[in-house]
Chain A
Amino acid sequence: MDWLENRTGIESAVKSFLYEDIPASAGWHQIIGSMAVFFFVIQVFTGGLLAFNYAPTPGEAYNSVKYIMTEVTGGALIRGLHHWGASMMLIIVVLHMIQVFIYGAYKKPREATWMVGVVLLLITLVFGLSGYLLPWDNRAYFGTVVTTRITSQAPLAGPYLLRLLGTQGDSVGNVTFSRFYALHTVLLPLLTLILIGIHIYLVRKHGVAADPGDTAPKRKFFPEQVFKDTVGVAVAFIILFLMAVFAKVPLERLADPTDTAYIPRPEWYFLFLFQMLKFFKGPMEIFVSVVLPGLAVLTLLLVPFIDRGPMLRLGKRTFAISVVVLAAIAWTGLTTAAVVTTPKNQESAEDTETPATETPEAAAPATSAPIAFESAWQRLTPEESAGLGIFKKQGCLGCHPGAGQKGIGPDLTKLPAIHRDVAWLVPHFQNPSKIVPGSVMPAVDLSKADLNALSLFVLTLTPQNESALLATPDFVTHGAMLYQSNHCDACHQIHGVGSTLAPALDGVGLRHNRAWLEKHFADPASVSKGSIMPPYKFMPADLDAICKYLLQLPKGA
């Protein structure tokens, strides 16, 4: 210990930190500052972890966030901590400011401490704003579009700010994304660290503000106040942890600039501004979006110079308290109004995609009641069904949304006659812009067999069957893809496609049940004497899908 102390002075540094004098009146109301620092540390820690698995480009960000949420072990928890930690950090920072404000702790000589604090609050808000874009889902995209538009309204500086944010024309794209990412992960953390350093240095320099009339002898920071701070931090952390475990972190659909049904809205703490914008139109809009927040920030910064009277007892600071209460009422009212008056968006991504392994049994009444009605997919060949699976998996719906919705790509049910041909579609998938000059469609990187299947599926689409086909359950496409990739058609036939070497599988659910089928896959000869079919060992999820698919095949014509 002496060795370390002699060389680093760490022991005396810790001691001088812990045995700082604080006023006797210090207590629970002064724990919030430590909590704010704690939340910053949490955000840096979890943010760093997220960055280990995150791809900061619009093309990949969404998929990597989804990967973190669904595939990385513990990924959902880490993102939960970061997401809810951001909200809690803002709450804590605002509470800290309110506490300092109503106690009047910003007064001489602590003006600079207060001003640095105001800047830290602003940085916390910009953290929230820039982090909002990074998952690149619909709420991120549209939230950012609105933010950049508001920025562009700033008097004089608007166009320059817009250029700084990297927007080109009207759109938010690669450059803006990188700027927000750099801001969020490099610039702001560094700035925050420096400002927290200055803030704490100033707090130490001037000491913790005592309540007026507190003439009692000073106490030490350790152990009583340290204990109180620790309790505050622990309680906040428990709340955060529970939220990260139990509250769902939103991840909506992939950002889709053409989604006209989407109603953008900001994170909850900006909802009051969002609501205020609804009340003002035309030139008054700038007043709310830029001028008013600007004035509010300026006023906050200047508070110590506006209120220069001596420190008063809490009971006598009625004006300060009423300002806080009025602001709280206004904020709550506006936020509530925003929540109530904005219609809900459609469900998030997790709800729209049912994982293949969790298809409810009800969707596949395989053994008890085979094929009572014909679904659209039951008219497809296995290859076409597999093509549908590829269609969904490749995210074709992003640009070809179907159901009459406008997308970036053309309506696939109304392709011109010359395009309705596998020989045209396959090379087009491989290199879209070569076949259709100027096409923005990305190349589809798949094997020839998969491209063939995809083409065959596209050719089955008609305005009548499209929405029914797109609603095909996952076990069908999954099962059909397995059927194709295992070349079952080399011996079997479905819908007249395939070989007649082995029995046709149309209506196989009328002849056999699930147990039989599973046994048959594991050891064909054991249930079907003389069968020359080789045994197939599937993963449980795969076995489930292919059995359900086969059992629901309709009886041939």
Chain B
Amino acid sequence: MGLIGLALAVPAAIYLLLPPKLRKEAEWVKTTDLSKIPAGTPTEISFERKRVDGWKVSTEKATAWVVKGPYNEVVAFTPQCTHLGCAYHWDGPSHTFICPCHTSVFSIDGKVLGGPAPRPLDRYMTKIEAGQLEIGPVEPHA
């Protein structure tokens, strides 16, 4: 009886706990012309990306907060607060990102300035091809 239980429990655990085989690598998505993003002011951009969602590959709208530096270097933050995933926004006057849920505050380079957020803002991988900003998968955080 114990063996039968085991012969059922092991496949069940594998079935539920191991991740499914990945269908493909995350893709890079072209977004906007870099020239359209003002330097020094975080800008929210939206783009469409493919997401493997169970048995379906769906196209979904995604957004990123993009910060362009004086030398055209670009950082793209994922739009969720690293505390509990609320959408944060850029507060011009205080020059910080503020999360409305639990008042986490981040600097323009994503560092935590205050509030409960456990780590800096997560970033998308980025590259620039022919003047266009391309957004890749989210960088693994430390």
Binding site for B on A (CB under 8 A): 42, 45, 49, 52-53, 55, 60, 63-64, 66-67, 70-75, 77-78, 81, 230, 233-234, 237, 241, 445-447, 485, 539
Task: Please tell me which one of the listed residues B7, B11, B18 contacts residue A78 in the complex, with CB atoms under 8 A apart.
Answer: B11
Q: When chains A and B are docked, how far (Å) is the Cα of A66 from the Cα of B7?
A: 24
Q: When chains A and B are docked, how far (Å) is the Cα of A445 from the Cα of B7?
A: 42
- Which of chain B's residues have a CB closer than 8 A to the CB of A42? 8
Say whether A67 contacts B55, CB under 8 Å: yes
- Which of chain A's residues have a CB closer than 8 A to the CB of B4? 233-234, 237
- Which of chain B's residues have a CB closer than 8 A to the CB of A539? 25
13 A-B pairs with C-beta separation under 8 A: A42-B8, A52-B16, A53-B54, A63-B55, A64-B55, A67-B20, A71-B21, A73-B19, A73-B21, A74-B12, A241-B7, A446-B59, A539-B25
Say whether B18 contacts A74, CB under 8 Å: yes
B7-64: which have CB < 8 Å to A? 7-8, 11-12, 14-16, 18-21, 23, 25, 27, 48, 54-56, 58-59
Nearest Cβ in chain A — how far from B9, in angstroms? 10
Interface size range of chain B in the complex: 20 to 34
Task: Please tell me which one of the listed residues B1, B7, B15, B59 contacts residue A73 in the complex, with CB atoms under 8 A apart.
Answer: B15
Nearest Cβ in chain A — how far from B20, in angstroms? 4
Return the chain A residue nearest B129 by Cβ. Answer: A487
Say whether B14 contacts A73, CB under 8 Å: yes
Task: Please tell me which one of the listed residues B3, B11, B25, B27 contacts residue A74 in the complex, with CB atoms under 8 A apart.
Answer: B11
Nearest Cβ in chain A — how far from B110, in angstroms? 28
Interface contacts (Cβ under 8 Å), in number, total: 62
Binding site of B, secondary structure by majority: helix, strand, loop or mixed? Answer: mixed
Return the chain B residue nearest A68 by Cβ. Answer: B55
Say whether B58 contacts A445, CB under 8 Å: yes
Binding site of A, secondary structure by majority: helix, strand, loop or mixed? Answer: helix
Task: Please tell me which one of the listed residues A60, A70, A74, A233 contacts residue B14 in the complex, with CB atoms under 8 A apart.
Answer: A74
Once A49-B16, A73-B18 are accepted as A-B contacts, the answer to whether A64 and B11 lie under 8 Å apart by CB is: no
- Which of chain B's residues have a CB closer than 8 A to the CB of A234? 3-4
Once A67-B20, A71-B21, A72-B20 are accepted as A-B contacts, the answer to whether A49 and B15 lie under 8 Å apart by CB is: yes
Return the chain A residue nearest B10 by Cβ. Answer: A74
Task: Please tell me which one of the listed residues A55, A71, A78, A485 contacts residue B20 in the complex, with CB atoms under 8 A apart.
Answer: A71
Interface centre among B3, B21, B25 (most CB of A within 10 A): B21
Q: When chains A and B are docked, how far (Å) is the Cα of A45 from the Cα of B15?
A: 12
- Which of chain A's residues have a CB closer than 8 A to the CB of B16? 49, 52
Nearest Cβ in chain A — how far from B17, in angstroms? 9
Q: When chains A and B are docked, how far (Å) is the Cα of A537 from the Cα of B21?
A: 20
Task: Please tell me which one of the listed residues A60, A64, A230, A237 contacts residue B7 in the complex, with CB atoms under 8 A apart.
Answer: A237
Q: When chains A and B are docked, how far (Å) is the Cα of A442 from the Cα of B14?
A: 36
Say whether A77 contacts B11, CB under 8 Å: yes
Q: When chains A and B are docked, how far (Å) is the Cα of A67 from the Cα of B53?
A: 11
Closest 5 CB pairs of A and B: A67-B55, A73-B18, A74-B15, A74-B14, A63-B55
Return the chain A residue nearest B55 by Cβ. Answer: A67
- Which of chain A's residues have a CB closer than 8 A to the CB of B56? 60, 63
Q: When chains A and B are docked, how far (Å) is the Cα of A314 from the Cα of B116?
A: 78
- Which of chain B's residues have a CB closer than 8 A to the CB of A71? 20-21, 23, 55
- Which of chain B's residues have a CB closer than 8 A to the CB of A53? 54
- Which of chain B's residues have a CB closer than 8 A to the CB of A45? 8, 12
Q: When chains A and B are docked, how far (Å) is the Cα of A466 from the Cα of B36?
A: 45
- Which of chain A's residues have a CB closer than 8 A to the CB of B19? 73
Return the chain B residue nearest A70 by Cβ. Answer: B21
Interface centre among B11, B12, B20 (most CB of A within 10 A): B11
- Which of chain B's residues have a CB closer than 8 A to the CB of A55? 54-55
Q: When chains A and B are docked, how far (Å) is the Cα of A214 from the Cα of B8?
A: 39
Q: When chains A and B are docked, how far (Å) is the Cα of A55 from the Cα of B55?
A: 9
- Which of chain B's residues have a CB closer than 8 A to the CB of A445? 58-59
